Amino acid sequence: MKPAKKKGHYNVLAVYSLMNCADREHFSGVLDEMANTSNWHMSTIPPEHFTKRSDLVNEHGEQYDGAILSLPGSDEVIARIARSRLPTVLVNITDSRLSARCDAVANVWTDNASIGESAARHLLERGEYACAGYVHEFGRPFWSRERLYSFRQTMKSGGCATFVFPETGDQPHTPDSQAFVDGLRRWVRALPKPAAVMAASDMRAADVIIACRQEGIPVPSQAAVVGVDHDASQHMRCGMKISSVELNSRMMGRQAVRELDYLLKHPKWKGRPHEVLIPAKGVFANESTSRSVSATRLVNIALDFIAANSMLALTPNDVVVHLGCSRRLAEIRFSQVAGTTIHKAINEARLNEVQWRIKSGDSVAKVVKAMQFKSANQLYRLYKRHFGKTIRAKPSVC
């Protein structure tokens, strides 16, 4: 196949809403990748204005050579695109007419299985639970069901059965409806505790946290909650920073540009529609999933961390970050379980290591360097204060 004759430029339409953070991040990825496609003339239009046939012509009266649709427009304009051979990239759009096209079309999808699995693994790493729970997005869209499936499978491998809200598709359509509020409260109340809950979005995660507060269920100790989207606006609504699976929205935008660029440069290409899955970026850990473990286990986790890092100049804050809880809670648990403070536990572990190294023949200078003490004098003072005696130098050999 001979390569197509290249145009001086391509007129490209991008249908985007910039109302929320995820959409803006996604469009930022489009702009980033356009630096590698300098022959594009791009026009943008919000989906609510993408309604008629004339919208397929730019402001200069020129027809578009290709389009990126992150949201569908009207039925009329989508039907026209489906009948055409306009190179088109669909981003998280399901439409049977568009899906029926077998040429000049590509699909970029959020990997919802990756999102559900990421949420489950995050929760399983944070504690031990009597059960798992999942809260659907309104209308139980396909992506919410896909997230549930992988979440449920991963939690099952961790020994947790998953309860779902709602089980059927009759969920009320507004979060402030009394039927929704009452139903969610009953559901969180009935969950065996402690529970690990994933919500399909941060909006629904905020609903879960509010319902738990209304029922007197402490989050995260009795219900750890993780959402999706990393939407900081929901933190204020529920009064807590929500742990959230981060979508790789910027990468989706970049991939959409790459896919359309390929279609534009290969107009005679025919084959199955290309589909690309973009996995989750990771989990942003926050207050709603701070480690929900028993006091004894929390202290043991901390002591294991201190022992494994006794060669480093650890601080109590390093330990608290590893635990994923507040400094105040960690100190209370240390006092209750170990009868000491985090600072004293760190000093004890490090000085026991010092004593072992000195007895094994290491010099003070070598120990100071290896264990990141500020000076030999600091080590001498700490050693005498802890053991009640000075470090005895090895007798010199004549």
Q: Is the pLDDT of residue 138 over 50?
A: yes
**Span 265-323, pLDDT tens digits:** 887 776 666 889 999 999 999 889 986 556 777 788 889 899 989 898 899 999 988 87
Beta-carbon contacts of 351 under 8 Å, excluding residues fewer than 6 positions away, are 382, 383, 386, 387
What does the alpha-carbon distance between residue 333 and residue 335 come to, in Å, rounded to a whole number? Answer: 5
- Is it the case that residue 247 has pLDDT exceeding 90? yes
Sorting pLDDT into bands at 50, 70 and 90, what band is 2? very low
Average pLDDT over residues 224-252: 92
Would the pLDDT of 106 be above 50? yes
CB 227 within 8 A of CB 202: yes
For residue 5, what pLDDT is reported? 46
Q: For residues 139 and 342, give the distance between their C-alpha atoms in angstroms, rounded to a whole number.
A: 48
The residue with greater pLDDT, 85 or 34, is 34
pLDDT digits (tens, 9 = 90+) for 174-188: 667 888 999 999 999
Mean pLDDT of the chain: 86
Looking at the predicted structure, is the pLDDT value of residue 158 above 50? Answer: yes
The answer to whether residue 54 scores a pLDDT higher than 70 is: no
Average pLDDT estimate for 34-45: 88
Encode pLDDT of 254-268 as tens digits. Answer: 999 999 999 998 877
Sheet holding 282-284, edge to edge: 162-165, 131-135, 195-199, 223-228, 243-246, 282-284
Q: How confident is the model at residue 395 (pLDDT cuts 50, 70, 90)?
A: very low
User: CA–CA separation, 267 vs 9, rounded Å?
Assistant: 14
What interhelical angle do 178-190 and 202-214 show, nearest 10? 70
Predicted pLDDT of residue 165? 95
Please tell me the least confidently modeled range out of 15-19, 51-55, 86-90, 141-145: 51-55
Predicted confidence (pLDDT) at residue 150 exceeds the cutoff of 50: yes
pLDDT value of position 394: 46
Q: Which residues pair with 104 in a beta bridge?
A: none
Query: How crowded is residue 357: how many other Cβ atoms within 10 Å of its Cβ?
Result: 17
The DSSP code sequence of 276-303 is EEE---EEE--GGGS-B--HHHHHHHHH
pLDDT above 70: percentage of residues in the chain: 91
Residue 178: predicted pLDDT:
87
- Phi, psi of 184, rounded to the nearest 5 degrees: -65, -40
CB 240 within 8 A of CB 127: no
Residues 6+ apart with CB under 8 A from 46: 15, 16, 17, 18
State the distance between the two ends of the chain, measured CA to CA, in whole angstroms: 86
Q: Which residue has the tokens 């568009």?
A: 98
pLDDT at 375 over 80: yes
User: With 80 as the cut, is the pLDDT of residue 209 above it?
Assistant: yes
Q: What pLDDT sits at residue 4?
A: 44
pTM above 0.85, yes or no: no
Q: What is the mean pLDDT of residues 43-56?
A: 80
pLDDT of 28 higher than 50: yes
Instruction: Give the pair of three-digit tokens for residue 251.
Output: 């990468």
Compute the half-sphere exposure of residue 136: CA atoms within 13 Å on the CB side of its CA: 24
Q: What is the DSSP letter of 63?
A: B
pLDDT band at 205 (very low <50, low <70, confident <90, very high): very high
> Is residue 112 predicted with pLDDT exceeding 80?
yes
Distance between CA atoms of 355 and 383, rounded to whole angstroms? 8
- Give, in order, the Cα–Cα distances in Å from 96 to each of 72, 79, 145, 256: 12, 10, 19, 20
- The edge-to-edge listing of strands for the beta sheet with 274-278 is 40-45, 10-15, 66-69, 88-91, 105-110, 274-278
